[in-house]
Every structure is written in structure tokens, then in C-alpha cells.
Chain A
Amino acid sequence: MKKLLVIGAAAALSACVAMPSVAPAGQFAPDAEFTVNLSEDWSYWPPAHNPAMEGGYVTQDGFFLNRVHFVTLDDGDSLIRAARGVERPFYSTGSSELEIVELVTNSLTSIGYTTMEADSIRPTTIDGHSGIEFALSGKWENGLNIKGDAAAIPVGDQLHLVVFLAPELHYYDALHSSVGDIIQSMDLPGSPAVG
């Protein structure tokens, strides 16, 4: 009876809250309006487990060592969750490329990163859609140097974002290339027909 109650409770909980799971190599659908292709297995943490930012993320070694966020923003959405004392930047359809870069850097600054800056801001085309890619650098609140990469692709009224963050020491370099492949694999809605 006791065992049944435990199983029942677990089932009830799992029905309410998505649990972390394996994101197997291959086409993967995070909780966003696009899919990506993973060349290896990752651990996927759905939005309910994302403490400060919207969307879910995949990680190889844990939240603080490397993570790749996936999120689709509608007009008026924020990249970060509401918190006391935090003024959130919001996405606005029609934002310029540079405003989108500032949306990302200012959002990260608002959740505890310091001296967060974008570099190597460049135009890109992913799945037939024009957007931007850029590098990120800054510090986490404990002084750890952080690097990252981001891709932002506006399609219609939405902005599709991939944001990679990892400590500069070892972890960023170890996954930088893999994350670049993930970004290039974004399969976006409303993509031009191929072939």
C-alpha cells in the first residue's frame, strides 16, 4: 500500500512538473518554437528547472559548468524571469540587431553576471532566415570568468534564441565547437522549403 502511495505521488508530481531527462543525440525539440540537432547526448532541464531565465537548457556537466539555453520570445516577452528588484528588458518585434544584442547582455547582467559584453557581432543566416550571432564574455557573481555564444534569429513576430554559457577555463573551449553546430542546426518555423 505504502509503495503504491509513493508511486502514485511520483506519478502525480511527474504529471505536473516536467523532470530533467536525457536529450539523446539527433533531432531534439526543446521547449521552444524550433528544434536543433545534437551530435551527442545531453541532459535536458525543462523551463520549470531554469531558475532565472525563460526556456529550457541542455548541459553536459551541470548548470554552472556549461549550459545551452533555448527560448522563443514573442513580442513583449522577457528572456529572464520576474524577480524582486530586477528591471527586466523585454523583446519588441522589429527591434534592431543591436537592440537584440543588448536585450541578451542586459538580461544576463540583470540576473547576476557582471561586465557582460558582446563581441564579434556578425550577421548570419540559419535555416534560410537572417539573424545575428555573437560572443559573450563577463563574470559570474563569484568572480568566475564566463564566456559564451549566442544566436538570435527573428522570424515574424518571434525571436528565436540560443545562448551558451560556460566558464572560460576549459569548459567554454571544450564545447564551443559543438554548440556552434547546434546553432547552425536550428530548424525554424516558417523556413523556406528546401529542394
Chain B
Amino acid sequence: MLDSKIWRHRRWLLASAALLSACASTDYGTRAAGDRPSDLTSTEASLWYQMDNAEADLRRSGSVVDDPELAGFVSGVLCNVSGDHCDDLNVYVVRNAEFNAFMAPNGMSAVYTGLLLRAEDESQLAAVLAHEFVHFEENHTLEMLGAARNARVTGMVLGVAVGAVGGPMALGDLAAAGGFLSFSREKETEADIKGMRYMAGAGYNAGSASLIWQNLQDELEASGFDRRRRSAGNTGFFDTHPGVEDRIGELNMRAAEFVPVDTDPVAYRAMIRPFLQDWLDDEIVRRDPERTLHLIERLSALETDMGVLEYARGRILALRDEEGDQGLAREAFLTSIEHGDAPALSWRGLAEIERANGQNQSAADAYEAYLSRAPDAADAALVERLIEDLRG
């Protein structure tokens, strides 16, 4: 244990000396479980301190999903792929529709709800977390900062890096900071290779690693925004990740080395089911209807949660409001309310369309059905007035 402390101390001293030397190597090697910088004057210690502050800000921000069961599930997956490092990692499920996850050098691990929504099973989630864990284990962030220091831009990079994990606005803009936080293609490939080994070693299906990237690529290609469609040629994750086509091919090739393992998408959906509607609402707010419709189509393949999914489809179509959309939205709401899990909002959505079409009686009926299911709704007073007006 003492030897280990001395070694860690020495390693951090060496590391900081390397950072301070303009021409030094930026290879920090592999992190041992429990590593923390012991030289408080080092650049790493400064970064660590700022990350600790950023973590405190994140906890206060209101962006963290306060659900012990969900957090425990995600932590469990991360622990499965990170072995002895499990205790070094603090998982935060961040309410953010972006497909993203990252691990800061101090162990702060943010997993966005946009990733959890898009993973189809535990193995796909494990693939992304194992990949990110390798960046953490191999000190890729510190190496990036060291390289930036050599290029005399550390201050700028450090500021952006810390800012990027410092608060919800910055968290939401992490993709923008990606230009500074990007790892080299070699580091990404290293993370892919080792990450797959870790996930397979933990009993996950190695073949799932390529699937989650393939799904993301397909979704980005469906986007109504040129910028996002263009990013499909890469990953939309970080710009220097290997191109998706190359990456999927390499991941598939490497997965062939491992024995396939059955996945359980039904169990995974059950875990995220309580949050499905909220997370889909977050997608709707982003106003990329084509992309979200594509996502809903994929989520519907499991043929569960159709009340919630058809409600979301109806909302998107009603908001997009292109020719024919209101009719399609009406059909989606009607389909939703045929299912037991239909949210009360499906009746409200239907009522809005009927009202706009001058179908006053059926609009009033739908509003009443909505209120009967959500008597304490925030808009109950307004809806009661609307029913009165529609009934004449």
C-alpha cells in the first residue's frame, strides 16, 4: 500500500514536471485504482480541484435525475466494465437530450438521458461507458491537456474543459467544446479496443458496440438539419472520433473475436420506462421532428410503450404542422389512446386538433376525457373554460 502511495506520488510529480516542460512527453500511462494527485501545486491538482467544484455545481444544478434506482442501474453497468475503479467513479444521470457521456479526471461521470433513451439494451449502454472509462483509465484528458500545454494553449483548453462540465448551460454545449476536448483518432481507437474487451469481459455482448453507433448514424441521417446530417458522416459525438462507417466496420470485425451473448431489450426498456415520456418530451423540444420521428420508429420496434410513443409521434406531427400532419397527428393520438399506457395528454392532443377542425363536440368530449384522467392538471382551469365554450 505504501509503495503504491509513493509510486502514485512520484508518478504525479513526474507527470506535473512533464506538463511544465514544454517539450515533455504527454504519456501519463494507465491510472491505478484510487489515484489522486498528491502534488497540490501541479496542473493536474488544479484541474482536479476545478473538476471537484464543477461536480458540486452539477449536483446543485437541477440537471441531475434524482432517481436512486436509475442511478444505481447506470452505476452498476459502469462498475461492471470498470472493475477496481468502480469506487473512483461518481455517476450522474444528466437530464439532457444529447447522446453523450463523459468521465472527468476526478471520476465525475456524466451519462446523458439522451444516451439512455437511445441504448436498446444494457450491452449497448455498457459499450459506450466502457469506451469512456478507457479514456479515464488511460488519462487521455490529462494527456490532451499536456499536449495542449506543449502547444501553449493549455489555459484556453483548461478553461473550456472545466467550463464544459461546470454547469447545465455548459453541459448542454459540450458538443461545442468538443473541438477542444476531442481525443486523437488513436486514443479513440484505443478506447474502442480496450472498451470492447472490458464489456465482453463483464459478460456483455460485444456486437452491441457497433449497433449503438449504427443506430445513431441512421438517426442523424434522418435529421431535418443539414448540420446534423453532415455530422452523421462522423459521429456527432466528438469530431475526431473515427468516422462512423470505419468505426462500425472495425467494431464488427473485433466483435467477431468474442462469443455472442443474448441481450435483453425488454428488461432495459422496463428500467427506462418511468422516464420515457419525459425524455421524449425533451426530444420534442429540440424541434428536429424528422430525427425524433426516426427515433420513435426505432423505439416502437419493441412493440411496447405504444401509448407513450404514439403520443410523442402525435405531438411532433402536430407541432411540425406540414401538409397532412394534423391528420396524421390525430391518427397517432387515436392510436395512443387505444393502449393502456396512453398518457392523459393524448386526449388533450386529440382535443386540440378536433377543436382546430371545428369539431366542437368531439373536442369537448376529448377534453373531458383528459380531465377525468388528470383532474389536477396544471391547465385544468383553462380546459374547463374551453369545454364550456365548446359546449356552447
Residues in A lying within 8 Å of B, measured CB to CB: 84-85, 87-89, 92, 96-99, 101, 106, 109-110, 112, 114-115, 117-123, 132, 134, 138-139, 141-143
Interface of A is mostly: mixed
Q: How far is the CA of A139 from the CA of B167 in the complex (A)?
A: 12
- Residue pair B356, A96 in contact (C-beta under 8 Å): yes
Q: In the complex, what's the smallest C-beta–C-beta distance from A114 to chain B, in angstroms? A: 4
Size bracket of the B interface: 20 to 34
Q: B residues within 8 A CB of A87?
A: 285-288
Q: Which of B63, B285, B286: most chain A CB closer than 10 A?
A: B285
> B243 an interface residue at 8 Å Cβ cutoff?
no
Q: A residues within 8 A CB of B63?
A: 114
Contact with A along B72-99 (1 / 0, CB 8 A): 0000000000000000000000010000
Say yes or no: A139-B61 contact (C-beta < 8 A), given A120-B378, A123-B381. yes
- Residue pair B176, A123 in contact (C-beta under 8 Å): no
Interface of B is mostly: helix
Contact partner of A115 among B62, B175, B355, B381, CB < 8 A?
B62
Q: In the complex, what's the smallest C-beta–C-beta distance from B346 to chain A, in angstroms? A: 13
- Residue pair A132, B382 in contact (C-beta under 8 Å): yes
A146: nearest chain-B partner, CB-CB: B62
> B172 an interface residue at 8 Å Cβ cutoff?
yes
- Residue pair B175, A85 in contact (C-beta under 8 Å): yes
Q: What's the count of A-B pairs with C-beta under 8 Å? A: 72
Contact partner of A142 among B167, B319, B348, B355, CB < 8 A?
B167
Q: In the complex, what's the smallest C-beta–C-beta distance from B381 to chain A, in angstroms? A: 4
Say yes or no: A97-B288 contact (C-beta < 8 A), given A85-B173, A85-B175. no
Q: How far is the CA of A14 from the CA of B262 in the complex (A)?
A: 70
Q: In the complex, what's the smallest C-beta–C-beta distance from B61 to chain A, in angstroms? A: 5
Q: For window 279-302 of chain B, which residues contact chain A by CB distance below 8 Å?
A: 285-288
Other than A98-B348, A120-B378, A121-B381, give 10 A-B pairs with Cβ distance below 8 A: A85-B172, A97-B379, A110-B285, A114-B95, A121-B382, A134-B378, A141-B169, A142-B60, A142-B167, A143-B57
